């Protein structure tokens, strides 16, 4: 039922949704199949250390992504850190600021300086035309981020990396099932890193993976994620504990079995949101390319405050009062988080597109946990808030 602008402005009023609708609420898949796998691994009493489900998940992912090697790990951040070390990165690495902070932290944790590059305003990914001007004698690599399932300009980045003899890797946490130039993401650059955190549309409770077509590099990464062990009692390399447990692999396999269904539901939701916001002034839905496969995992709205006549954060406040837990991905940008804002206080001066976009984005709930009726209610809330923006701002300010 559509609310009035007065109702939207009243703090403590009964929200539209009795239970919160979150961005990234987990998809579960077939519970019976999951429990079969969990019971099986308990019967086997093989809970970790490359059991049958970990091996099967790696093989299945490699097939889907069309790569030679997939090494699954306990989470995406450890996958980033191990890949960075395996590539021998040091000094400075060029990376977008518009990403989850783990991308930058994985570098800084290893005393490598993340050099923040601006984004292309259309793709919202690292601006390949700006990368070259950031290269210095200390630069050893580039990390591109396939943000919101929108691929980087992989051809341009590859050409730059080869010409300057830099290592190239990708944070593909948002990009499982996505193509770039018709080729499945997973085999670009030296390595690509995936996340199977619970918030991703394919999850393993918690988990990650490194994919590569470089067999030497894959062998090194396998050693590094298991303390450097090569067989029993034979440590041949420095390493850490990055192993994925069997229960996570069981969940990952169960999720993969429903991958097509999850993408179909995400696409259905995307079309519903697209239709619902098409006539709301100052709101646009970030589109996905019709020429590429994608997972439609994120519903990203861009709010033009000059047209909508209401601040983005006001709109998010209204949505959250109605139990729609919208987010500001990735606000305020890594360069404005610690330790980077202290180490690089002037970074924002060369990131105008990043600075602009982080003030405009609203990410809305999607996935299997939301209905078309709920999406209609959410877009009605947005329409009411924005078409009555002057009155709503007055009511909120007057409280």
Q: What is the DSSP string of 346-391?
A: TGGGG-HHHHHHTTTEEEE--STT--HHHHHHHHHHHHHHHHTHHH
Q: Sort strands 299-303 and 283-285 into parallel, antiparallel or unpaired.
A: antiparallel
Q: Which two tokens stand for residue 191?
A: 């390595």
pLDDT at residue number 247? 98
378 and 310 fall within a common domain: yes
pLDDT at 263: 98
Q: 130 is written with which tokens?
A: 């700006």
Answer yes or no: is 184 within a domain: yes
- What residue numbers bound the domain in which 278 lies? 259-326+365-398
334 assigned to some structural domain: no
Which helix (H) or strand (E) segment is 141 a member of? strand 139-145
Query: What number of H helices and E strands is found in the chain?
Result: 16, 14
In angstroms, the CA 113 to CA 127 distance is 19
Are 282 and 236 within one domain?
no
| pTM (predicted TM-score) | 0.95
What's the total number of domains in the chain?
2
**Residue found under tokens 């709109």:** 315
Q: What is the pLDDT of residues 184-210, one digit of tens each?
A: 999 999 999 999 999 999 999 999 999
Q: What is the domain-level CATH number for residue 94? A: 3.40.640.10
Same domain, 203 and 276: no
- Where does residue 155 fall: left (phi above 0), alpha (psi -120 to 50 degrees), or beta otherwise? alpha
Same domain, 208 and 253: yes
Residue where a domain terminates, one of 223, 257, 291 = 257
Q: Which of 235, 257, 279 is the last residue of a domain?
A: 257
Residue closest to 97 by CA, chosen among 365, 298, 346? 346
Measured between alpha carbons, how far is 253 from 41 in angstroms, rounded to an integer?
A: 13
Distance, in Å, from the CA atom of 246 to the CA atom of 220, rounded to the nearest integer, reads 22
Residues 51 and 144 in one domain: yes
Q: Hey, how many other C-beta atoms are within 10 angstroms of the C-beta on 170?
A: 30
Give the domain CATH number at 285.
3.90.1150.10
Handedness of CA 371, 377, 380, 381 (dihedral sign): negative
Is 218 in the same domain as 86?
A: yes
Predicted confidence at residue 392, as pLDDT, reads 76
CA 207 to CA 186: how far, in whole Å? Answer: 16
Q: How confident is the model at residue 399, as a pLDDT?
A: 61
Question: Within a domain: residue 238?
Answer: yes
Residues 243 and 384 in one domain: no
Q: Are 157 and 126 in contact (CB under 8 A)?
A: yes
Tell me phi and psi for residue 179, to 5 degrees: -115, 155
Whether 241 and 275 map to the same domain: the answer is: no
Q: Note whether 101 and 147 are same-domain residues.
A: yes
For the segment 252-262, what is each residue's pLDDT rounded down to a tens digit?
Answer: 999 999 999 99
| 22 domain-assigned | no
Q: Is the same domain home to 77 and 127?
A: yes
Could you tell me if 243 and 301 lie in one domain?
Answer: no
- What single string gives the DSSP state of each residue in 235-268? B-S---B-PPPHHHHHHHHHHHHTHHHHHHHHHH
Q: Are strands 283-285 and 324-325 parallel, antiparallel or unpaired?
A: unpaired
Task: Name the domain boundary from 257, 283, 303.
Answer: 257
Show pLDDT as tens, one digit a residue, over the chain (399 residues).
567 877 777 755 689 999 999 999 999 999 999 999 999 999 999 999 999 999 999 999 999 999 999 999 999 999 999 999 999 999 999 999 999 999 999 999 999 999 999 999 999 999 999 999 999 999 999 999 999 999 999 999 999 999 999 999 999 999 999 999 999 999 999 999 999 999 999 999 999 999 999 999 999 999 999 999 999 999 999 999 999 999 999 999 999 999 999 999 999 999 999 999 999 999 999 999 999 999 999 999 999 999 999 999 999 999 999 999 999 999 999 999 999 999 999 999 999 999 999 999 999 999 999 999 999 999 999 999 999 887 877 677 766
Tokens for 46? 């093989």
Please indicate, yes or no, if residue 82 is contained in any of the structural domains. Answer: yes
- Tell me, what's the pLDDT at 13? 67
């Amino acid at each position: 039922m559509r609310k009035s602008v007065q109702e939207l402005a009243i703090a403590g009023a009964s929200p539209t949704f009795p239970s919160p609708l979150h961005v990234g609420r987990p998809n579960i898949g077939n519970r019976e199949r999951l429990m079969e796998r969990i019971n099986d691994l308990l019967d086997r009493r093989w809970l970790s250390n490359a059991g049958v489900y970990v091996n099967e998940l790696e093989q299945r992912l490699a097939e889907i992504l069309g790569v030679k090697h997939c090494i699954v790990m306990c989470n995406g951040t450890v996958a980033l850190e191990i890949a960075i070390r395996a590539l021998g990165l040091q000094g400075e690495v060029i990376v977008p600021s518009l990403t989850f902070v783990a991308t930058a932290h994985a570098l800084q944790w290893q005393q490598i300086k993340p050099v923040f590059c601006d984004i292309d305003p259309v793709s919202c990914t690292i601006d390949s035309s700006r990368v070259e001007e950031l290269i210095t004698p200390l630069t050893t690599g580039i990390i591109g981020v396939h943000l919101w399932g929108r691929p980087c300009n992989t051809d341009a980045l590859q050409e730059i990396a080869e010409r300057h003899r830099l290592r190239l890797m990708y944070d593909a946490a948002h990009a499982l099932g996505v193509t770039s130039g018709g080729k499945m993401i997973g085999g670009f650059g030296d390595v690509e890193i995936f996340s199977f955190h619970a918030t991703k549309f394919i999850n393993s409770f918690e988990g990650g993976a490194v994919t590569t077509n470089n067999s030497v590099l894959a062998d090194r990464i396998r050693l590094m994620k298991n303390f450097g062990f090569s067989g029993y009692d034979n440590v041949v390399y420095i390493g850490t504990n990055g192993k994925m447990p069997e229960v996570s692999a069981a969940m990952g396999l169960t999720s993969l079995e429903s991958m097509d269904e999850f993408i179909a539901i995400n696409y259905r939701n995307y079309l519903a949101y697209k239709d619902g916001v098409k006539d709301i002034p100052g709101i646009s839905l970030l589109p996905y390319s019709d020429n590429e496969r994608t997972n439609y995992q994120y519903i990203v709205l861009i709010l033009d405050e000059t047209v909508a006549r209401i601040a983005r954060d006001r709109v998010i406040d209204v949505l959250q009062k109605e139990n729609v837990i919208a987010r500001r991905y990735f606000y305020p940008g890594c360069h404005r988080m610690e330790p980077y804002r202290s180490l690089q206080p002037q970074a924002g001066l060369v990131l105008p597109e990043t600075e602009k976009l982080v003030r405009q984005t609203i990410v809305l709930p999607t996935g299997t946990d939301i209905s078309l009726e709920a999406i209609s209610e959410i877009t009605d809330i947005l329409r009411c808030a924005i078409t009555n923006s002057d009155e709503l701002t007055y009511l909120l300010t007057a409280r």
